[in-house]
Amino acid sequence: MSAEPAQTGAATGGRIPNDRRRYEVTRADLPLSCPMPGMSVWNSHPRVYLPIAEAPDGRVRCPYCGAEYVLVDGDG
């Protein structure tokens, strides 16, 4: 994910879920799933793998929570 200060949840000690609606990912993050590893509520909805590498515009949206993932140049 993009280099951005991570917020933490006091109760969970992990990343606050859905604190953003847009996530930038690199090829190092593939295979891409939502929720991503490290999010505090990994069980907020069923894990779904998103085929971002095959998306013509490098963008996919989670069918459960609506989070948008954008593939950017970087690692990989």
Estimate to the nearest angstrom the gap between the alpha carbon of 57 and the chain centroid: 17
Q: Return the pLDDT at 40.
A: 67
Give residue-wise pLDDT tens across range 22-59.
999 999 999 999 988 877 665 578 889 999 999 999 99
Residue 3 lies in a domain: no
Q: Return the pLDDT at 5.
A: 43
For the chain, percent of residues with pLDDT exceeding 70:
66
- The total of structural domains in the chain comes to 1
Residue 15 lies in a domain: no
Residue 7 lies in a domain: no
Residue 4 lies in a domain: no
Q: Which domain holds residue 47?
A: 22-71
Token pair listed for 22: 């847009």
Residue 66 lies in a domain: yes
Residue 59 lies in a domain: yes
Residue 44 lies in a domain: yes
